[in-house]
A and B are shown apart, each in its own frame.
Chain A
């Protein structure tokens, strides 16, 4: 049995059936990480002690023959913007290079309570700001499907770890596409749930009205299991919604015959690379052959999504990142003669280039004289973009399109052109602005064997519906 290739389902049944132990599973993943991660760079910190203690606890339950929790012994990795008690958490930034949190993120605590074994913390763009993982203050991540290419970002480590069998499942975060785009680039499943579906308590905030936590897995069913585990109201996060959590995995095999699949022409326009287009056309035909009705729709404000997004996101980021001042935690510059000099130098030396760029843009957009023209304008356009989806979902059950306009690009290719990098998120930011759920699943590969992801959007809290369509496609591929 190849332990590192297991899914959640198969890993749990192997532990439950005593074919392996949680400890043996964790050991084989640590061995795989030791041999393969030097070439990939997905992990920033390993949590061996915590992982082996949890695995031993699961093994004791299994030995006694007592009922095992739903994720018993399943090795998982956690994006390094989610805090973990006693395990260094950096958000990919030098400013938090030595930060050891005193508490756990709710999503992580829920995974562990369900029996999962946390292997370690995964590399990402600094404060989740980036689309290639090249903004990590520590080292870039290489795409396991082609080491000369980026894994996508900002949750590049989370996607790469699943793609390279260095975790069964991982958690990432998605503020403008940071789960779905790397899932697409690495050929795995990645879900951004509805805003409010998953508690963000313990997520180091980037843009609070856009930030989401979600899973990466090898199969759609595993994503359904992960989502059920982490979803639901949390009194520690006032934005978590009080909406019941269904058993998503129990629903995914329901037929999709007769479902209306919307195809938005704005997602197939200029900028979509030709091979990605033809893969998507094939995928849509496949859905039609599975009995879906294909409906042409329009999301007319799509081209304004990136400009609106970068104003809203950076404005919120400039406020959220004001807390990093070198006083209570994190990096402090030496030899400052006054408090204000200490703030400035700590932030100057602690933050990387892209983070400073976004703080500056956000501060500018919020500053006196520019607030109405930039921030308020972007918020009004956000209403229009959300209205586009509300109108579309009167006609269709789901909307399908490409996750990204291109497959994974080369390391270094866009690093000096922030605007080109921002455009990598053109098909994903809309779901963050509107708060609707979106999943990326592997549609196919191109001629260079690079994965191309298909994105499926649903109505608010309709994760069950998009998981069903995703599962039907995955099975038919």
Chain B
């Protein structure tokens, strides 16, 4: 067992999830099964292999340039409402579960 119920509770806390007692014990089982499976990665010696976070710096860019220069095409002027007008306030609030018409409303953040 790699992951204990205590660790599941800790990770749920990090992920802003509550999880019922039943969900928690199921999660212990599922995570251990998956983590046991991914263990096979340790068969590979990856010392000296660079990590790859994304693919777009490898292809479709000017290979003669370095670093952020390669992505010059993706930059734009930093101007207000540059590519798209900002949403009007009522549109931005239209999907909100709770609003006073000007702000999003949420339960109390700080206890007195």
A contact residues vs B (CB 8 Å cutoff): 98-100, 102-103, 194-196, 208-209, 233, 235-236, 238-239, 241-243, 301, 303-304, 306-308, 310-311, 318, 322, 325-332, 336-345, 347-348, 351, 353, 356-357, 359-361, 363-364, 367, 374, 376-384, 386, 418-419, 422, 434-435, 460-461
Sort A-B residue pairs by CB-CB distance and give the 3 closest, nearest first.
A435-B55, A379-B51, A329-B95
Known: A381-B46, A434-B55. A342 touches B106 (CB 8 A): yes
Q: How far is the CB of B24 from chain A (nearest CB, A)?
A: 10
Residues of B within 8 A of A342 (CB): 106-107
Residues of B within 8 A of A239 (CB): 54, 56, 74
CB distance from A34 to the nearest CB of B (A): 29
B54 near A209: Cβ-Cβ < 8 Å: yes
Q: Is the CB of B15 within 8 A of A363?
A: yes
Q: Given A338-B108, A460-B60, does the pair A383, B37 have CB atoms closer than 8 Å? A: no
Q: Could you tell me if B16 and A330 are in contact, using CB atoms closer than 8 angstroms?
A: no
Residues of B close to A376: CB separation below 8 A: 51
Check if A384 sits within 8 Å of B46, measured CB to CB: yes
A-B contact pairs, 25 of them (CB 8 A): A99-B95, A102-B94, A195-B59, A209-B54, A233-B73, A239-B74, A304-B40, A304-B43, A310-B34, A322-B15, A325-B16, A327-B104, A330-B95, A332-B97, A338-B109, A340-B16, A353-B23, A361-B31, A364-B35, A377-B42, A381-B41, A381-B49, A382-B52, A384-B49, A435-B56
**A138→B27 CA distance, assembly (Å):** 23
A209 closest partner in B (C-beta): B54
**Number of residue pairs across A and B with beta carbons under 8 Å?**
190
Within 8 A of A (CB), among B58-80: 58-61, 71, 73-74, 76
Q: Contact at A209–B34, with CB atoms within 8 Å?
A: no
Min CB–CB distance B11 → chain A (angstroms) = 5
Number of contacting residues on B, CB 8 A? 59
- Asked whether B52 lies within 8 Å of A357 as measured between CB atoms, the reply is no
How far apart are the CA atoms of A336 and B43 in the complex, in Å? 47
A310 / chain B contacts, CB cutoff of 8 Å: 34, 38
B85 → A minimal CB distance (Å): 11
Kindly provide the distance from the CB of B68 to the nearest chain A CB, expressed in whole angstroms: 11
Complex contact B109–A339 (CB within 8 A): yes
Minimum CB distance partner of A236 in chain B: B83
Chain B residue with Cβ nearest A238: B74
Check if A360 sits within 8 Å of B53, measured CB to CB. Answer: no
The distance from the CB of B25 to the nearest CB of chain A, in whole angstroms, is 13
User: Which of A194, A327, A328, A383 contacts B49, CB < 8 Å?
Assistant: A383
The CA of A360 and the CA of B98, in the complex, are separated in Å by: 28
Q: Which residues of B contact A326 (CB under 8 A)?
A: 97
Q: Return the chain A residue nearest B76 by Cβ.
A: A235
User: CB distance B41 to A307 under 8 Å?
Assistant: yes
A341 and B107 contact, CB distance less than 8 A: yes
A308 with B11, Cβ < 8 A, contacts A235-B76, A360-B17 known: no
Other-chain residue from A103, A303, A329, A360 in contact with B27 (beta carbon distance below 8 A): A360
**Smallest beta-carbon distance B110→chain A, Å:** 9
**Nearest-Cβ distance from residue B102 to partner chain A, whole angstroms:** 14
Residues in A with CB closer than 8 Å to B107 are: 336-339, 341-342
CA distance A208 to B53 in the complex (A): 10
Residue pair B16, A322 in contact (C-beta under 8 Å): yes
Given known contacts A236-B83, A336-B107, A337-B107, A343 and B73 CB-to-CB distance under 8 angstroms? no
Provide the residues of chain B in CB contact with A236, threshold 8 Å: 83-84
B50 within 8 Å of A (CB atoms): yes
Q: Measured between alpha carbons, how far is A336 from B109 in the docked complex, in Å?
A: 11
Q: Judging by beta carbons under 8 Å apart, are A377 and B17 in contact?
A: no
- The answer to whether B52 and A379 have CB atoms under 8 Å apart is yes
